Amino acid sequence: MKNASTKLGKKSFTIVEQACHEIHGFRKLYDELQQKMVLSGRSPSTLSNYARKMAHISLHFRKLPQDISEKEINRYLAKLAQESKTPSLSDFKFTIYGLRYCYHLLGMNEKAIKLPSLRQERKLPVVLNYQECIALFKTPELIKHRVLLSLIYSAGLRAQEASHLKIGDIDSGRMMIHIRQSKYHKDRYVPLSLIILKGLRKYYYSCQPVEYLFNGNEPGSPMSVRGMQWVLREAVKKCKLHKGITLHTLRHSYATHLLEFGMDILSIKELLGHERINTTMIYLHVAKPRRTNLFSPLDRLCDKP
């Protein structure tokens, strides 16, 4: 179930291509799925996740998702849940989301309703403290990597946003960064840090990037998210941090630190580009309280004679 690609003769196919090749009608279903997602503003990564799960299940049963019985789907999902260490964060979740989206697309709402519901996790995000941030940003040997990690944190960027930034998006006159067509196909501006501007100028004169702020290996291409993840992993190893840090941890840390420094939650929502305030509210549970009269009762008990 979990192979991303397979061999067909001498040619290597992705799982979606294989399903289009082997399952009658899958290509039409995929085209409809792609069109609907583009029109509704869904991200390419969401399309990829859903399409791969639909391809897996179609190849498993040798028929389209709409032709699979409820009993067959339940057995498939039960096996998938057993194989997954954390079902709510795994193939299990995206298979259910993909099936639900597919059934709604095909007007099979009753079939979508019968799918298992997913329990909402209430985990708080991992956040770096101030000292860990400083250590992390100083660690990479290359100035490109130091500026990259610092910039993601300083502006609360998503990984794709950092990858797609172009040189012209840095407005030093207004001290703003223009983030174009991000999640939900929305543009937004975020403040440009003066420290980052100085670092960007050193980086620019040293590396001479073309078009994209952080160029990839291919001429005219942006640095990939995978490449950025590698930069972060190497820095984390050298810093010997053990918090389960990802690129998104830098964005979580940005939002949390803004709260701790006194910025209001509505302003942070706009800077992050969130659709709903509820998404931003989670940082209220992470930020260190600014009130000074908070304490643990254990400390007071131990002070008693």
The residue extents of the domains of the chain are 5-113, 130-285
Question: Given this model, what pLDDT does residue 291 score?
Answer: 61
> Which pairs from 278-282 meet CB under 8 Å and 24+ separation?
280/255, 282/124, 282/125
Alpha-carbon span 287 to 124, nearest angstrom: 11
pLDDT, average across residues 3-11: 39
* Percentage of the chain lying above the pLDDT 70 cut: 87
**pLDDT digits 0-9 by tens, 183-228:** 767 899 999 999 999 999 999 999 999 999 999 988 789 999 999 9
- Catalytic status, residue 283: yes
Question: Given this model, what pLDDT does residue 9 score?
Answer: 37
Query: In the structure, what pLDDT confidence band is assigned to residue 293 with cuts at 50, 70 and 90?
Result: low
- Which of 183, 189, 212, 238 is labelled catalytic? 183
Query: In the structure, what pLDDT confidence band is assigned to residue 89 with cuts at 50, 70 and 90?
Result: low
Question: Given this model, what pLDDT does residue 82 score?
Answer: 76
Question: Given this model, what pLDDT does residue 165 score?
Answer: 96
Query: In the structure, what pLDDT confidence band is assigned to residue 43 with cuts at 50, 70 and 90?
Result: confident
- Which of 63, 144, 188, 274 is labelled catalytic? 274
- Catalytic status, residue 24: no
Whether residue 144 has pLDDT greater than 50? yes
- Which of 30, 153, 254, 283 is labelled catalytic? 283
Whether residue 4 has pLDDT greater than 70? no
- Catalytic status, residue 145: no
How many CB atoms within 10 Å of residue 155? 23
pLDDT, average across residues 295-304: 68
The second-level CATH assignment, the architecture, of 130-285 is Orthogonal Bundle (1.10)
pLDDT, average across residues 75-89: 71
Q: What is the pTM of this model?
A: 0.66
- Which of 42, 100, 158, 269 is labelled catalytic? 158
Q: In the numeric block, which tokens belong to residue 59?
A: 């190849």
- Which of 164, 251, 252, 269 is labelled catalytic? 251
- Catalytic status, residue 248: yes
Question: Given this model, what pLDDT does residue 5 score?
Answer: 42
- Catalytic status, residue 183: yes
For the chain, give the secondary structure using H, E and C: CCCCEEEECCEEEEHHHHHHHHCCCHHHHHHHHHHHHHHCCCCHHHHHHHHHHHHHHHHHHCCCHHHCCHHHHHHHHHHHHHHCCCHHHCHHHHHHHHHHHHHHHCCCHHHHHCCCCCCCCCCCCCCCCHHHHHHHHHCCCCHHHHHHHHHHHHHCCCHHHHHHCEHHHEECCCCEEEECCCHHHCCEEEECCHHHHHHHHHHHHHHCCCCECCECCCCCCECCHHHHHHHHHHHHHHHCCCCCCCHHHHHHHHHHHHHHCCCCHHHHHHHHCCCCHHHHHHHHHCCCCCCCCCCCHHHHHHHCC
Pairing of strands 5-8, 11-14: antiparallel
Query: In the structure, what pLDDT confidence band is assigned to residue 182 with cuts at 50, 70 and 90?
Result: confident
Look at residues 72, 74, 61 and name the one whose alpha carbon lies nearest to residue 26. Answer: 61
- Catalytic status, residue 180: no
- Mean of the per-residue pLDDT values of the chain: 87
pLDDT, average across residues 222-250: 94
